[in-house]
Chain A
Amino acid sequence: MAGFIFKRLLQAIFVVLAVTLIVAFAIRLSGDPAIMLMGGGNVTEKDLENIRQALGLNRPFLVQYLSFLEGILTGDFGKSFMGGTPVSMLIARALPATLLLAFASLITSIILSVPLGIYAAVNRGRWPDQLIRILSLVGLSFPNFWLAIMLVLLFSIVLGVLPPSGMEGPESFIMPALTMAVILTATNVRLVRTSMLETLSQQYIMVARSKGLRDRVVLYKHALRNSAIPLVTYIGLQFGGLIGGIVIVERVFNWPGMGTLAFDAISNRDYPVLQGTITVLALFIVLINLLVDIAYGLIDPRIRTE
C-alpha cells in the first residue's frame, strides 16, 4: 500500500510540475506583458523597463519559474495589478464560494441520479430505462450556461421567485446548483445504472435473493452499497470538469467565486490574478484526484497492483 501511495504521489507531483510550468509559460506567450499592460499608449522604454523590473520579467525563465514555484509553496501569488491586493487574499475570498457551489451541485446530483439510475437498472431494456437513457443524452446536449440562462428566464423573469444573480441567502444557491446538478446527473445516471447492473449479476446478490430477502433489501442494502464505490471514484474524477463548468456558470449568476475572479482578471489584463486562480484550481483538482485514488486503493486492493 505504501508503494501504491508513493507511486500516486509521484504522479501527482509530476502533474503539478507540468501544470505550473504551463501556467508560467503561458504569460510569456503574450510577447512582452509590459507592452500588453500599457496597452500601447504613450509609454517610454523606461516605463516598460520599470514594469519588467516590477514583474521580475527581466530575469532568466528558470529563475522566474522557480520563484513562481516558491510563491506557490508559501501561498504567495504576487499582487493584483489592480490596487495591489495580494492575489492569495482574493483567492481566499473566492475559493469558498466556488467550493460551496461545487458541493451543493454534487449532493443535488447524487440525490437525483442514484434513484433514477437504480430505476433504470431494475427496468433494464424496458421503456423506463430507454426514457432515462434518452433524457440523459438530452442533458448532455446543451451548454451549461444556456441552461443557466433558461432558469433565470423562468424563475427570475417569468415567475419572479428567485434572485437572478449574486450569492445572498440559501435561495441564491438553487439555480446555480441546479444547473450544474442537471448536467452531472446526466452522466451519473448512466454510471449508477451500469454499476448497479454489474453488481446485480454477482453471485452474492443471487445468494441474498435465494435466501428469501426482499427485493428492496437486496437492492438498497447489498447492491447499492457495492456499486457506490465506482460512483465515488467517478465523482472524484469528474471534479475537474465540475470546476470547469462552475467557472462558466458563475459568469451567468455573477457568483463571487473563482470564475468571476478569473474573468475580471482577463478583462483587466490582471495576469497575476489569472495565473493564481488557474494554478489554485488545477492544484485542487490534482489533490482531489490523488485522494480519491488513494481512498479507492484502500477500499479495493485490486486497484493497487494495476
Chain B
Amino acid sequence: MAAAQAMSSARRHFRSLELVLGVLLAGGMTLAVLFSGLLFPDGGESMDLMARLTPPFQSLAHPLGTDPLGRDVLARVIVGGKISLTVGVFSVLGAVTLGTFIGLVAGYYRGITEILLMRFADIQLALPFILLAIMFLAILGTGVDKIIFFMIVAQWVQYARLVRGSVLSLRDREFILSARAIGVGNGRIILTHILPNVLGPIIILMTLQVANNILLESSLTFLGLGVDPLIPSWGGMLADGRTYLQTAWWVSVFPGLAIMFTVLGLNLLGDWLRDLLDPTGQTSK
C-alpha cells in the first residue's frame, strides 16, 4: 500500500513537471515569436558585415552568433518561428474543423458519409504523407498556403475517425435518447450534447498535431519544397547552415534547438492533457 502511494506521488510529480515544462517551452517560444516584430524590427535581415561568423556567447550584440552574411542567428531563429507556428496552428485548425464536421455527420447519421469516410481513412493510413507532399509540392510549387492545404487534406481524416468513434459510443446513451424523446432536434443534440463530450480527445490530438506539423513543415522546407528560402524559417536555416557546418556549427544547432523546444513543449502538454482528459486512452496510439 505504501509502495503504491509512493508510486502515485512520483507520478504526480512528473505530471506537474510535464505541465510546467510544457507551458514554459511552448508558451515561451510562442510569446517570443509573437513579439518578434518588437524584439527584432529588422526581421533578422540586417547584415553586420564586420561581425560575420561571430561564434555564439561571445558578443552581446549577437548572443547566438552570426551567419556568413553577418545576420544575427538569435533574431532569425525567433523570426523564423513565425512560419512554423503559422503552419502548425492553421493546418490543425483547418483539419479539425473539416474533420469534426464530417465525423459528427458520419457518426450520427451513418450511411454513405460513414462508408466514404472509412474507405478514405484506409487510403490515408496506407499513404506516407511526406512522399505525396514531396510529389505535389515539387510539381505545384512551394508556399505556406500550399503546405497548409496539403496538411488539411492529409489530416482531417484523423479527426473525423476520432469523432465518429466517440459519437458512435454516445448516440445510444440514455441522455441522448431522452433528449430525443422530449423532441430535441438532431442539430441541437449534436451541438449541445455530443460535441462537448468529444472535445477532450480532439484537443489532445490537436496539440500533438501542431507539434507534428511543425516538424513536417521544417522537413519540407529543409528539402527545398516548403517555404521560400528567402524568408527566415527553421527548416530553411538548417538547409543553409548545413552547407557551412564546418565553419559555423551554431547556424545549424540553434534553429534545431528552437524546433525541439517548441515541439517538446507541445508534446509534454499533449501528454499531460491525455492523462487529464482521456484516462482510458482513446487517443493513444
Contact = CB atoms under 8 A, between A and B. Distances in A.
B10 A15 contact: no
Interface string A20-55: 001100110110000000000000000000000000
Nearest to A249: B219
Nearest to A265: B138
Interface in A151-181: 152-153, 157
Contacts of A237: 125
A134 B131 CA distance: 30
A119 interface: no
B259 A157 contact: no
B7 A153 contact: no
Given A126-B10, A143-B219, A281-B128, A157 B263 contact: no
Contacts of A127: 10
Interface in B169-226: 211, 215, 218-219, 222-223, 225
B218 A143 contact: yes
B131 A247 contact: yes
Contact of A29 (B140, B219, B285): B140
A150 interface: yes
A278 B134 contact: yes
A244 B264 contact: no
A257 to B, nearest CB: 13
A137 interface: yes
Interface in B117-164: 119, 122-123, 125-132, 134-136, 138-140
Q: Give the interface SS of chain B, mostly helix, strand, loop or mixed.
A: helix
A75 interface: no
A78 B218 CA distance: 32
B98 interface: no
Contact of A243 (B14, B128, B140, B268): B128
Interface in B218-271: 218-219, 222-223, 225, 235, 238, 241-242, 245-246, 249, 252-253, 256, 259-260, 263-264, 267-268, 271
Interface in A129-162: 130, 133-134, 137-138, 140-146, 149-150, 152-153, 157
B128 A244 contact: yes
Nearest to B264: A141
A154 B285 CA distance: 33
A262 to B, nearest CB: 6
B8 interface: yes
B110 interface: no
Contacts of B127: 15, 19, 22, 240, 282, 285
Nearest to A154: B249
A248 B128 contact: no
A178 B82 CA distance: 31
Nearest to A271: B139
B131 A252 contact: no
A247 B245 contact: no
Contacts of A187: 285
A241 interface: yes
A96 B265 CA distance: 38
How many B residues touch the partner, as a band? 35 or more
A275 B271 CA distance: 38
Interface string B25-67: 0000000000000000000000000000000000000000000
A266 interface: yes
A187 B242 CA distance: 27
A248 B219 CA distance: 7
A150 B134 contact: no
A15 B123 contact: yes
Given A247-B134, A248-B130, A146 B256 contact: yes
Given A18-B123, A127-B10, A153 B249 contact: yes
Nearest to A17: B123
A27 B264 contact: no
Contacts of B129: 244
A286 to B, nearest CB: 5
Contacts of A262: 134
A149 B131 contact: no
Contacts of B140: 29-30
Contacts of A240: 126-128
In order of increasing CB-CB distance, the 9 nearest A-B pairs are A244-B130, A141-B264, A146-B256, A125-B7, A244-B128, A240-B128, A266-B138, A141-B263, A142-B260
Interface of B: 7-8, 10-11, 14, 18, 119, 122-123, 125-132, 134-136, 138-140, 211, 215, 218-219, 222-223, 225, 235, 238, 241-242, 245-246, 249, 252-253, 256, 259-260, 263-264, 267-268, 271, 284-285
21 contacts: A15-B126, A30-B140, A124-B7, A125-B10, A134-B18, A137-B271, A141-B260, A141-B264, A142-B259, A143-B218, A143-B256, A144-B219, A153-B253, A157-B246, A187-B285, A240-B128, A247-B131, A248-B130, A266-B138, A281-B131, A285-B127
Given A14-B119, A19-B127, A125-B11, 6 more contacts: A142-B259, A150-B256, A248-B219, A281-B128, A285-B128, A289-B126
